[in-house]
Structure 1
Amino acid sequence: MGFFLEVLIGGLLAGVLYSLVALGFVLIFKASGVFNFAQGAMVLTAALALVRTLDIAQKEWHWPFWLALVAGFLFAAFVMAIIAWASERLVLRKLVNQEGIILFMATIGMTFFIEGLAQTVFGADVYPLNIGLPKEPIFILESVFDGGILVNELDIWAAVIAGLLVAGLALFFQRTRIGRALRAVADDHAAAQSVGIPLNQIWFIVWLVAGLVALAAGAVWGSKLGVQFSLTLLALKALPVLILGGFTSVPGAIIGGLIIGAGEKLAEVFLGPMMGGGIEIWFAYVLALLFLLVRPQGLFGERIIERV
Structure 2
Amino acid sequence: MDFLYNFFISPFVQIADSPLFFVEVLTGGLLSGVMYSLVALGFVLIFKASGVFNFAQGAMVLFAALFFAGFIDKGVPWWGSLILTIGVMVLLAMTIERVVLRPLVNQPHIILFMATIGVTYFLDGFGQTVWGSSVRVLDIGLPQTPLEIGGVLVNKFDIIAAVVAGSLVAVLAVFFQKTRVGRALRAVADDHQAALSVGIPLKTIWAIVWTVAGLVGLVAGVMWGSKLGVQFSLAMVALKALPVLILGGFTSVPGAIIGGLIIGAGEKVAEVYWADAIGGGIEDWFAYMLALVFLLFRPQGLFGDKIIERV
TM-score, length basis structure 2: 0.93
Q: Which residue of 1 aligns with 2:29?
A: 11
Residues in 1 aligned to 2:84 and 2:63: alpha-carbon distance in whole angstroms? 11
Q: For each residue in 1:45-91, what CA deviation from the matched residue of structure 2 results, as whole angstroms up to 9, or x when unmatched?
A: 10011111112125xxxxxxxxx111111111111112111111111
- Match 2:143 to one of 112, 119, 134: 134
- Match 1:32 to one of 50, 54, 74: 50
Residue 45 of structure 1 aligns to which amino acid in structure 2? F
- Match 1:242 to one of 241, 245, 268: 245
Q: Which residue of 2 aligns with 1:71?
A: 80
Unaligned runs of 5+ in 1: 59-67, 142-147
Matches within 5 A, 1:67-146: 68-141=77-150
Once the two structures are TM-superposed, the CA of residue 124 in structure 1 deviates from its matched residue by 1.2
Do residues 218 (structure 1) and 227 (structure 2) align? no
Q: Which residue of 2 aligns with 1:196?
A: 199
Question: What is the root-mean-square deviation of aligned Cα atoms in Å?
Answer: 1.0
Q: Which residue of 2 aligns with 1:228?
A: 231
Residues in 2 aligned to 1:160 and 1:117: alpha-carbon distance in whole angstroms? 32
Residues in 2 aligned to 1:246 and 1:196: alpha-carbon distance in whole angstroms? 29
Once the two structures are TM-superposed, the CA of residue 307 in structure 1 deviates from its matched residue by 4.5
Residues in 2 aligned to 1:177 and 1:274: alpha-carbon distance in whole angstroms? 53
Q: Which residue of 2 aligns with 1:2?
A: 20
Residues in 2 aligned to 1:92 and 1:305: alpha-carbon distance in whole angstroms? 30
Describe the SS at the equivalent of 1:135.
Answer: coil
Residues in 2 aligned to 1:293 and 1:178: alpha-carbon distance in whole angstroms? 35
Residues in 2 aligned to 1:8 and 1:132: alpha-carbon distance in whole angstroms? 26
Q: Which residue of 2 aligns with 1:48?
A: 66
Residues in 2 aligned to 1:233 and 1:23: alpha-carbon distance in whole angstroms? 16
Unaligned runs of 5+ in 2: 1-18
Residues in 2 aligned to 1:4 and 1:233: alpha-carbon distance in whole angstroms? 29
Describe the SS at the equivalent of 2:74.
Answer: helix
Do residues 262 (structure 1) and 265 (structure 2) align? yes
Do residues 275 (structure 1) and 278 (structure 2) align? yes
Once the two structures are TM-superposed, the CA of residue 305 in structure 1 deviates from its matched residue by 3.1
Q: For each residue in 1:194-248, what CA deviation from the matched residue of structure 2 results, as whole angstroms up to 9, or x when unmatched?
A: 0000000000000000000000000000000000001000110000000000000
Residues in 2 aligned to 1:276 and 1:232: alpha-carbon distance in whole angstroms? 27
**Identical counterparts, % of pairs:** 69
Describe the SS at the equivalent of 1:300.
Answer: coil
Describe the SS at the equivalent of 2:274.
Answer: helix
Describe the SS at the equivalent of 1:138.
Answer: strand
